[in-house]
Structure 1
Amino acid sequence: MIYLDNAATSAIKPDSVKEALCQAIQRDDLGNPGRGAHESSLHALLEVEAARTSVAKFFGAKDSQLAFTANATMSINLILKSLLGAGDHVISSCTEHNSVLRPLYQLAEEGVALSFAGLKKDSLQLDLASFEQLLRPNSRAVVVNHASNVTGEVIDLPACAKFCRENKLLLIVDAAQSAGIFPINLQADDIDVLCFTGHKSLYGPGGTGGIVLGDRMADVPLKAVISGGSGIRSFEKTQPREMPTLFEAGTANVFGLIGLHAGVEYLQNTGMAKVEARLQKLMRRFYEGVKDLPGLKIYGDFSDPAKRRAPIVGLNLGHVPAAVISDILATDYDIATRPGAHCAPLMHQALGTADQGIVRFSFSTMNSEADIDAGIAAIAEISRALT
C-alpha cells in the first residue's frame, strides 16, 4: 500500500522507532515506574524520564513542564476542564478539530461561553482580526490549532500570541498537525499550553501525547480532572497538584513512551529544518502534479512556495463524493487517503463541503517521490474517467 494518510497517523515509522519498540517489549526489567524501589520499577522510571527530557527539550521546555497523556484529544480535554469553569469565555475558531470542539461544547453546558472566529472572506486563512470583536471582559483563553487538519493552513501564531498578551489571555495550541512538521518552541512562540500527540508526525506509537505548560502557567490554578494512583502521597484524598503528577494519574505507558522517545530522537538527529524542507518538497510535488487536472478543486493557498504549510493537500473532483474517490484510490490503486469531514465540521461548513467532504492527501518523511507520483497518476486517471 502507498500510505498518504499521515495526518491521521504515521503508519510507517522510522526503523529506529521500530527497533526501540521491539527491543523494549522483549525486556524483562521494565516494571511499574515510580511504584517501588526495586530495579524493574527504577528502570521503567528512567525510561519515562528520559523520554520526558527529550520531548521537553524538543519543544523548548523544562522536564517539569511536560505531562504525558494518551493523545492530543486527552491533552486538550484535561487542560480545558482543569482550567475553565462557569462564567469564563473562550475564543476559538471554525478550523478546529472535534478534539477541541466537543470539550468546549461540553463546557458550554456547564456555563462556559464560546465564540468562534471564521475565515477571511478572500482566503482560507483564519480571520485573526475578528478576535478583537469577539473579546469580552470575562475572556479567559484562546484555543486554536496550529495547522488545519483539512487544508494544512497554518495560523499566524505570533499575531495570535500578541493578541493574547495584550489582552491577558492564555494561548492554548493544538499542535496535532504541526508537532514534528516544523519547529515549535514554547518560549519563543509565546505559547501558554501546547497539546500534542505522539502517533502522527512525532513518529511514536498510538497512546502517546502530552501537555506542555509555559512559564506563565506556574501561577494559574489548575484542578485535577482524572484522579488516581500517583506513586506518592498515597494518604492524601486528592490528586497531587504539581506537574506532571496532576495530569499523570495511573500507570505510565512505558513502552509507548520509549517509542515516542525514539521518534523524537529521529527528528532531532535528522534536523527539523531538513524534515520541514523534505515535507514541503513532497507536498509541492503532489500539488504541482494535480493542480491543473480538469474538474479538480484544491482547498488551501499554495500560491507562495515559501509559505509554511502542513504537508496536506485537500481536493475534490467535480461533485463526486469524496468517499467515492477515496474508495477508488484504495481499491483500484492501493493508495490510502482520508475522505469525509475529518472531524472538523465547522471547517467543512465554512468551505461549503459539508455534504461532499474532501479527499485529503497527507505526507510524511517516510514517503518517497515514487509514492507522490503514484498518487498524481491515480488522481489524473480518475479525473479522466469521472469528469
Structure 2
Amino acid sequence: MSYIYFDQAASSFPKPKKVGEAVLEAINDYGANPGRGGHTLAVRANDVIFKARKTIAMMFGEQNPANVCFYLNATQALNQAIQGVDFKEGDHVITTSFEHNSVRRPLERLKDTKGIKVSYIEPAVNGKLLLELIEQEINENTKAIVVSHGSNVTGTILPIEEIGMFTKVHDILFVVDASQTAGILSLDMKEMNIDMLAFPGHKGLMGPQGTGVLIIRDHVDLIPLIYGGTGSHSEDVHQPEKRPERYESGTLNTPGIAGLLAGIEELHSIGIESIYEHEAQLTTYCLERLSVIEGIQIYGPQLHETRLAVISFTIEGIDVHEVAMILDQHYQIGVRAGLHCSPLTHSLLGTEDGGAIRVSFGYYNTIEEVDRFIDAIKEIKSFF
C-alpha cells in the first residue's frame, strides 16, 4: 500500500521530476561558486541564479531582479525583513494571532532588545473584521504591519490587498509572509502595495528544502543580519550597498535554487489556477466527509468559504498525537499534529493545550487518498 502524504503545508511532496534533475545537474555539471569567479562553471552557476531571480521577480510583480534575495527558508527571510528594519524605542508594529513563530519570535525579540510595541489582533477565524481591528490599533508610532497571507493552521486567507491599500494611505511598512500561498494564489507586490514579501521555495513553489526568498522593494532599506563575503567589492571593509549582495553574504545554495527554478517552471506549465482548483476540490470533499462524523470538531472557515487546502480538527476523547501516530504506523498516512509553530492561532481556537490534527493537500494528492484517510479516521474513532 502506497504512503499518503498529507503534510503539504509543511513541505510539498512529491516534487516534480524536473526538480530533482535540476538539482543533480547543478551538482554534477556546474557545481562551482556563483559570482565568485569568471571561469565557465562559475558563470554558468551565476546564470542559473540570475534566471531564478528574474523568474521570481516577474512572478510576484517586482521589476528589479536584484531585489530578489535568497535564503535557506522563509524563517531566515522573515528575520531579515523584520529585524532588518531600523526600529526605534516606542515604534509600534501590528500583527495577528494567525502568525507563525517565524514572525512572532523576531517581533518579541525586538520588544526585548529595542523596546518596540507589538499589537496582536484577533480577527474572526475566517479573517473577517481584520481591517476594522487594524484601524482601531493604528497610532502615530505605527511603523509596520506584518501579516501572513494564509494561516498554516486554519487555511484562512487574509485580505492582504485591502491591507496594502490601508498601509499605503498611512505610509506604513507592509510585510507579508506568503509561506502558505506563494505558488497557490496570485500575488503582485506592486498592485497589492507590499513592501517586503517572504516565502519558502519548498512548499507551493515545489522546490527543494533549503530555499527561501525575500523580495525587498526599492524604497525599503534594511540593515543586513549577516556580514561577510559577497563575491564583489572585496576591498571595501563595509558591507556593499549593492543588491542583492548586501543581503546575501556567503555562498548561495545553487543546487537548491536550480531546483526551485525548475519547480516554478513546472508550476507555470500546470497553471496556478489549476493547482488551486484541484486543492480546493480535495479540501471541500474532505470537509464534507469529515463534518458528518460524530465527535469531530473542525476549525477554520466554514465549508463553502474560500480557504487554503489546510484542515485542522480534533476527535473528541482522543489525543491528537496518538491519532497522528496511528495514521502513520497503521495506515501509512502522514499528517501533522500539535501546535504547528503557531500557538497564538491555537489560543484563538481554544486548542492551545493539545493542538489539533492537520491535513493539508497538494497538487499530486487525489480523491482516492482522501477516501482512504476518511475510512482510517472512522476506524480509529471506533477503537476508542
Q: TM-score, normalised by structure 1?
A: 0.94
CA distance in 1, matches of 2:376, 2:274: 28
**Mapping for residues 263-282 of structure 1, pairs under 5 Å:** 263-282=263-282
CA distance in 2, matches of 1:91, 1:344: 17
CA distance in 2, matches of 1:128, 1:350: 18
8 Å Cα contact 1:71-1:197 kept in structure 2: yes
Q: Which residue of 1 aligns with 2:293?
A: 293
**Mapping for residues 66-215 of structure 1, pairs under 5 Å:** 66-87=68-89, 88-110=91-113, 111-120=115-124, 125=128, 127-214=130-217
Give ranges in structure 2 of 5+ residues lacking alignment: none
8 Å Cα contact 1:117-1:126 kept in structure 2: no
Q: Which residue of 2 aligns with 1:13?
A: 15
Shift of 1:336: 0.3
**AA paired with 2:57?**
A
Q: Which residue of 2 aligns with 1:39?
A: 40
**Mapping for residues 205-244 of structure 1, pairs under 5 Å:** 205-214=208-217, 218-244=218-244
Q: Deviations over 1:140-197 (max 9, x none)?
A: 1100000000000000112211221222111100000111111111122221110010
**AA paired with 1:21?**
V
Q: Deviations over 1:48-87 (max 9, x none)?
A: 1111111222212231221111111000001111114222
Q: Deviations over 1:315-351 (max 9, x none)?
A: 1101422111111111111100000000001111111
Return closer, same or farther for 1:125/1:377 CA change in 2, 3 Å cut-off.
Answer: farther
Q: Which residue of 2 aligns with 1:257?
A: 257
Give ranges in structure 1 of 5+ residues lacking alignment: none
Instruction: Please state if 1:320 is matched with 2:321.
Output: no
**Mapping for residues 299-338 of structure 1, pairs under 5 Å:** 299-304=299-304, 307-338=305-336
Name the SS of the counterpart of 2:234 in structure 1: coil
CA distance in 2, matches of 1:44, 1:340: 40
Q: Deviations over 1:27-59 (max 9, x none)?
A: 1x3311111111111111011111111122221
CA distance in 2, matches of 1:245, 1:125: 40
CA distance in 2, matches of 1:378, 1:297: 17
Structural RMSD (CA): 1.5
Return closer, same or farther for 1:164/1:124 CA change in 2, 3 Å cut-off.
Answer: closer
CA distance in 2, matches of 1:191, 1:262: 26
Name the SS of the counterpart of 1:339 in structure 2: strand
**AA paired with 1:136?**
N
Report the more deviating stretch, 91-100 or 62-71: 62-71
CA distance in 1, matches of 2:182, 2:71: 15
Return closer, same or farther for 1:126/1:234 CA change in 2, 3 Å cut-off.
Answer: farther
Which runs of 4 or more aligned residues in structure 1 lie more than 4 Å from their structure 2 counterparts after TM superposition?
122-126
Shift of 1:123: 5.3
2:337 to 297, 318, 339: 339
Aligned-residue identity in percent: 36
CA distance in 1, matches of 2:375, 2:185: 28
Q: Which residue of 2 aligns with 1:361?
A: 359
8 Å Cα contact 2:155-2:301 kept in structure 1: no
Return closer, same or farther for 1:205/1:123 CA change in 2, 3 Å cut-off.
Answer: closer
**Alignment size in residue pairs:** 379
CA distance in 2, matches of 1:206, 1:351: 30
Shift of 1:238: 1.6
Shift of 1:119: 2.5
Q: Which residue of 2 aligns with 1:23?
A: 25
Name the SS of the counterpart of 2:338 in structure 1: coil
Shift of 1:365: 0.5
Name the SS of the counterpart of 1:74 in structure 2: helix
CA distance in 2, matches of 1:5, 1:232: 41
CA distance in 1, matches of 2:247, 2:317: 46
8 Å Cα contact 1:84-1:112 kept in structure 2: no
CA distance in 1, matches of 2:188, 2:221: 23
Q: Deviations over 1:274-332 (max 9, x none)?
A: 1111111111121112111000011011332xx43211011110142211111111111
CA distance in 2, matches of 1:336, 1:75: 28
8 Å Cα contact 1:119-1:350 kept in structure 2: no
Shift of 1:126: 6.1
